[in-house]
Amino acid sequence: MYKIVKKVSLASNIYLMEIEASRVAKSCQPGQFIIVKMDEKGERIPLTICDYQREAGIVTIVFQTLGSSTKRLAEYKEGEYISDFSGPLGCPSELVKESFEELRKKNVLFVAGGVGTAPVYPQLKLLKERGIEADCIIGARNKDLIIFEEEMKKVSKNVYVTTDDGTYGLKGNVNDCIKDLVQNHGKHYDLVIAIGPIVMMKYVSILTKELGIRTIVSMNPVMVDGTGMCGACRLTVGNDVKFACVDGPEFDGHMVDFDESIIRQQMYKTAEGRALLKEQEGTAHKSKNCGCSDK
């Protein structure tokens, strides 16, 4: 059993939980994820690790309520227990593996969309701890859905906020902001790390390919075990089929077959989950044949 030591509501439908899980806290790295299972009848839900306190044995997760499982998780209160919390799973972020010298030479831009802002945080924090500051764009549909802004400001060089409806920060989507920074403000980036809704990551990757900036995305396909045993999480990267849970979840955004992944993500998503995601993605959601309105 794993104790929920803290629960905070960050925005409408977005929750933060701190969970007591000493083995995970001891070994996890930015970029990795965990799987929670609430009780006997619950699903195995993959969630990215958003922060960790090694000494205290605590891991932070941030999740959005989409369908029945995430809604059920949101009903858990501080002090209560969940039955399973396994991890860390997946490979650490590329940044963890790179040498300090290499990293310092790079201008990195993080692009965070919606609930994806939370998993960007530990990566920025890691860089900051090594004395490196990077820029960060946070995009959301409206002001109410912007999370982690204060935390991000503490660990980034510049934080740019965009909202689709212009209720806060720049009006537009994250791509408008990237273009603006590169084309009008003379910014130069060597690496973009984009984490957010899959449709956002797709369009960011299309743009950065045009701009010639290497791009890493964090994929979130349907998963079951998270250990390489079921193949539910497979996706096409270049000419290869990869299992996101063991080979990823981070991949080269210019190599990922996003359209296939978008279709595959629909496999088990409930109608309510799809509707919410579509709303979340706002203007980033341009895809005509992602299948979100049928099946």
Ligand X SMILES: Cc1cc2nc3c(=O)[nH]c(=O)nc-3n(C[C@H](O)[C@H](O)[C@H](O)COP(=O)(O)OP(=O)(O)OC[C@H]3O[C@@H](n4cnc5c(N)ncnc54)[C@H](O)[C@@H]3O)c2cc1C
- Comparing CA positions, the residue from 121, 92, 95 lying closest to residue 247 is 92
Task: Kindly report the length of the chain.
Answer: 295
Site for other proteins in 87-106 (CB under 8 A): 87-89
What phi and psi values does residue 183 have, to the nearest 5 degrees?
Answer: -85, -35
Site size for other proteins (CB under 8 A): 43
* Smallest gap from residue 100 Cβ to other proteins (A): 23
Among 30, 88, 119, 122, binds ligand X (CB under 6 A): 119
Site for other proteins in 256-285 (CB under 8 A): 260, 263-264, 266-268
Interface stretch with other proteins, choices 4-12, 58-66, 141-149, 226-234 (CB under 8 A)? 226-234
Strand partners of residue 218? 250
CA-CA distance, 256 to 219, in Å (whole number)? 9
Interface stretch with other proteins, choices 35-43, 56-64, 104-112, 191-199 (CB under 8 A)? 35-43
Interface stretch with ligand FES, choices 50-58, 157-165, 228-236, 268-276 (CB under 6 A)? 228-236
Site string for ligand FES, 13-52 (x = CB under 6 A): ----------------------------------------
Told to check if 127 binds ligand X by CB under 6 A, we report no
Among 18, 20, 43, 164, binds ligand X (CB under 6 A): 43
Cα 10 to the center of its chain, rounded Å = 16
Strand pairing report for 2-11 and 14-20: antiparallel
Cis? peptide before 221, omega within 30° of 0: no
Q: Which does 142 bind (CB under 5 to 8 A by kind): other proteins, ligand FES, ligand X, none?
A: none
Neighbours of 255 (CB within 10 A): 15
Q: Two tokens at 118?
A: 């939370």
Among 45, 230, 255, 275, binds ligand FES (CB under 6 A): 230
* Smallest gap from residue 24 Cβ to ligand FES (A): 17
What phi and psi values does residue 16 have, to the nearest 5 degrees?
Answer: -115, 135
Among 9, 12, 53, 83, binds other proteins (CB under 8 A): 83
Q: Where are the alpha helices (DSSP H) in 183-286?
A: 198-211, 244-247, 258-265, 271-281
Told to check if 253 binds ligand FES by CB under 6 A, we report no
* CB hemisphere CA count around 201 (13 angstroms): 27
- Long-range pairs, 36-40, Cβ under 8 A, ≥24: 36/61, 36/73, 36/82, 36/84, 36/85, 37/82, 37/83, 37/84, 37/85, 38/69, 38/72, 38/73, 38/76, 38/82, 38/83, 39/82, 39/83, 40/83
Told to check if 231 binds other proteins by CB under 8 A, we report yes
Q: Which does 263 bind (CB under 5 to 8 A by kind): other proteins, ligand X, ligand FES, none?
A: other proteins
Query: Which residues form the interface with ligand FES (CB under 6 A)?
Result: 223-226, 228-233, 243, 245
Query: Which residues form the interface with other proteins (CB under 8 A)?
Result: 23-24, 26-27, 32, 37, 41-44, 68-69, 72, 83-89, 224-225, 227-232, 234-236, 241, 246, 260, 263-264, 266-268, 289, 291, 294-295
